[in-house]
Structure 1
Amino acid sequence: MTLSLTLVCLWAVTANIIAMTPSKDYHWRNAYILIAVGIPILGYTVLQHGPWVGLLVLAAGCSVLRWPVIYLGRWLRRRGRNSVVE
């Protein structure tokens, strides 16, 4: 297994361990850290294995961090409605 896929697996295990621990802020601080660490790992994976594997890793990351993705989608939808009105 290459270094990038090893880092992806380590990121996924870390994310699941973090999800099992209690948190007062509903894990948002941890989600921001995981996103900040995951983006370079995703880029490195795309560099080593190409865009198809990168899309699979992105889908796996989105399934782990689903609430930040849902809130991003809602925010983009609101921004889209506001720009159409103006």
Structure 2
Amino acid sequence: MTASLTLAALWVILAAIVALLPMRRQFAPGIVLLAAAPFLLVYLGYQHGGWIVLAASVAILSMFRRPLFYMGKRLIRRVRGAE
């Protein structure tokens, strides 16, 4: 197993542990995991190619769909309010 896949597996385990925390304690570690995701995707893409990045992207988007939808709606409201 290569280092990038080991790193990805560690990221998934940490994400699962964060998911077990109460909601009020998930925010800070969740933001760290979300911020680390693009770097992990780039590293995986460099090591293994596009298909692995696509699969990992789908998994990350699935895990963070609610926070990403919330941030997207908030961004849209902010842009519409600036007009």
Give TM-score, length-normalised by structure 2: 0.78
Partners of 1:55 and 1:78 in 2: CA distance: 29
Structure 2 equivalent of residue 65 of structure 1: 64
Structure 1 equivalent of residue 3 of structure 2: 3
Gaps of 5+ in 1: none
Alpha-carbon shift at residue 77 of structure 1 (Å): 4.4
Larger RCO, structures 1/2 (Cα 8 Å, 6+ apart): 1
**Counterpart residue type for residue 9 of structure 1:** A
Partners of 1:35 and 1:15 in 2: CA distance: 9
Structure 1 equivalent of residue 27 of structure 2: 28
Q: Which moved more, 1:16-25 or 1:34-43?
A: 16-25
Note closer, same or farther for the CA distance 1:76–1:51 as it changes in structure 2 (3 Å cut): farther
8 A Cα contact 2:4 2:44, kept in partner: yes
Structure 1 equivalent of residue 54 of structure 2: 55
- Name the one with the larger helix percent: 2
Q: Which moved more, 1:32-41 or 1:16-25?
A: 16-25
Paired residues, what number?
83
Alpha-carbon shift at residue 58 of structure 1 (Å): 0.8
Give TM-score, length-normalised by structure 1: 0.76
Q: Secondary structure at the match of 2:24?
A: coil
Alpha-carbon shift at residue 73 of structure 1 (Å): 3.3
Percent of counterpart pairs with the same letter? 38
**Counterpart residue type for residue 22 of structure 2:** P
